[in-house]
Structure 1
């Protein structure tokens, strides 16, 4: 007998994986293709990101693409400093599903 799929339970580590929504012009253009962009933990893997999104937002994820943006070296008052590296995840959702990132979890 096949097991019934269970709804993913929300775990505290899901909140550690998803850091924040990434709101830019490009991310709003991607939302027209039923995708959402999030900043995620640097150590998060694609299966962890998929499980966290499905548990927190109650949607079905069809694909996860990740990007690591290296921090730029900047100068302020003559002193050099480096911005932090950021890992972003582009989450593709099943047709009909959507995530409203303007509302809280």
Structure 2
């Protein structure tokens, strides 16, 4: 981990919630060498970068973050809302790759 980044390892383990596996995420991964993660709502870009580098042993070039509003859904006469989510588009340096099938072993 970089000396100038002062994040606790315990906090970094909790920042990334899950990788996003979707058609759009697959397209972005192939075209732009980016990986999409669901992250905690209070995660910052430097924290996300440090967490990805720590967990997957890769070098991160940049991070873009998207706050997605939960959709309104109704069940009969009751209207509810799905949870708001935060996604991070992590751009890896050239030659870097994250293979999720190897990490699970």
TM-score where L is the length of structure 1? 0.86
Partner of 1:66: 65
Moved more, 95-104 or 41-50: 95-104
Equivalent in the alignment of 2:17: 19
- CA distance in structure 1 between the partners assigned to 2:11 and 2:46 by the alignment: 13
Over the residues paired in the alignment, what is the CA RMSD in angstroms? 1.9
How far apart, CA to CA, are the structure 2 residues paired with 1:97 and 1:60? 7
The aligned counterpart of 2:87 is 88
User: Hey, which of these two has a bigger chunk of helix by percent?
Assistant: 2
Larger radius of gyration: 1
1:87, distance to aligned residue in structure 2 (A): 0.1
- The 2-side partners of 1:35 and 1:29 are apart by 9
**Count of paired positions:** 99
1:30-57 deviation line (CA, Å, top 9, x unaligned): 1112110000000000000000000000
Which segments of 5 or more consecutive residues in structure 2 lack a partner in the other structure?
Answer: none
Structure 1 unaligned spans of 5+: none
